[in-house]
Amino acid sequence: MIAIIRQPHFVRATGLLIGLAAAIMVIRLGTLGQGYRFLEKFPPDFSTVGWMRFGGSAIAAFLIYLALRPARHQTRPFLTDCTSTRVGKLYAWVSLLTVAATMAGVVLIPQRLYPLVTDGAVVQTISELFLAIAIGLALFAAVRSRTVAAARIGIVPAPLVFAAMALVTFLILGEEMSWGQHLIGWQTPDTFAGNIQNETNLHNFYTYRFETAYYLSALVLFFVLPYAWPKVPGRWLKPFAFFVPPAGFVLIAAPISGLFYEYWNVVPMQVAFALGVILLVDCAFDRSRGTPGARAFAGLWAVTMIASQAVFLVFGGRMSEGHELSEVREFLISLLMLAYLIWISGRLLATSRGLA
């Protein structure tokens, strides 16, 4: 029994469970106890209870970080497995400049921000274009991976994995476009008239649950997983290694742990924000992550996340709708999906040629 308790996997699992238990306690006392629903959105709460809620969320995030942090000899450098350093840097700068532009928009033109990010606007259109390209790349990967033995998840062959990715991305694109309603402009059928935005889609019937699952899944897959994945995975993890994004994705995906205004009081989002900052600070001080420049960029992200969140909480009430930041976050998630499938396609090409 003592030998089991001393195992690092047992310690990590215990720490993770304690962190999740702390988050549940914060939800119970700081949200449900105040008369709000679990995922209910309401203006940022700067009361004593609100700060206690965030303090509890930060503690939960720190405990989760302790459980996720890889051993120092297992830390992956940012540039490991990157097929193109230049392209990776481009993604990172696009991500950072998007957050900077959003900060400026919230402060300087809060009323004009919504027309830029709403359905059919420039930001939404680019997001849909990214998703459409990602679908094509997922289908390409499904075909190309047939001859790559290493690309499989357990007994599930890679073609089925990538076909599933294509299907999920297609569903996301269809829901975001309201299945063509935004392009053609038809009247919403009576079947869909009861959803929040009166659009031809299903996710607006369950907006809070859908968005929370979508945002947290993207955070785990594109930010937490690249950070925590070990350099040399064990026997149980090794079959999944082919699909895990490079550690450098941390420097692209950082902002999806933030960009909150109307979502700020939702405890899982507060935990996500605090965890994101903690992981970025850890990367900045961990020399095994790579060059001083790369680690400095992680530090820049940590400062940017704190500064941007402060700006959004202070000035966000001036926005016309309140959910503009969620639209920007969804744009960044579409960028991440595209970046991932470009990377995986390059990896498949290199592997099939015997280069990886």
Task: Tell me the β-bridge partners of 156.
Answer: 153
DSSP assignment string, 44-73: ---SHHHHHHHHHHHHHHHHHHHHHPPPGG
Q: DSSP class of residue 180?
A: G
pLDDT > 50? residue 106: yes
Token digits of residue 267: 């405890």
Q: Quick check: 165 pLDDT over 90?
A: yes
Residue 181 to residue 167: CA distance in whole angstroms: 20
Cα–Cα–Cα angle for 282, 89, 120, rounded to 5 degrees:
105
Closest C-alpha among 132, 244, 114, 226 to residue 177: 132
Question: What are the domain boundaries of the chain?
Answer: 77-352
- Per-residue pLDDT tens digits for 264-284: 989 899 999 999 999 999 999
pLDDT for res 6: 43
DSSP string, 231-279: SS--TTTGGGGGGSPPGGGHHHHGGGG---STTTTSHHHHHHHHHHHHH
**pLDDT band for position 17 (cuts 50, 70, 90):** confident
pLDDT confidence bin for 184, thresholds 50/70/90:
low
Reduced to 3 states, what is the DSSP secondary structure of residue 156? strand
Whether 328 shows a pLDDT value over 60: the answer reads yes
- Higher per-residue confidence, 212 vs 341: 341
Cα(72)–Cα(224) distance, rounded to whole angstroms? Answer: 16
